[in-house]
Homo-oligomer: A and B are copies of this chain.
């Protein structure tokens, strides 16, 4: 693996990592419906505002979302919407695992 491939793998892993947290994944899924301000996202998250803000910052750093300040509020939206098209496959992994465990009881 050369330097370039290594850098690409690291970059990809980083994008995945940004989504690999329940709160951040949930936020991204919410944004799939359209842009939302931080306050709207925060309504349904039981965590400090500063925590929420930091999670959004991680997604932004990763390039998954972008923000725009309008008045007092900051709006976030998905930057590359396909980023969530993947979830059915992720769910397939989970289903496969659950089925396997279910078999143990038969």
Contacts and interface: CB of A to CB of B under 8 A. Distances in A.
A79 B89 CA distance: 11
Interface string A1-34: 1000010111111111101111011100100000
Contact of A22 (B10, B19, B26): B10
* Chain A: number of interface residues, binned into ranges: 35 or more
Contacts of A21: 13, 17
Contact of A25 (B12, B64, B79): B12
Nearest to A5: B26
Interface of A: 1, 6, 8-17, 19-22, 24-26, 29, 44, 62-64, 79-80, 82-83, 85-87, 89-94, 96-97, 100
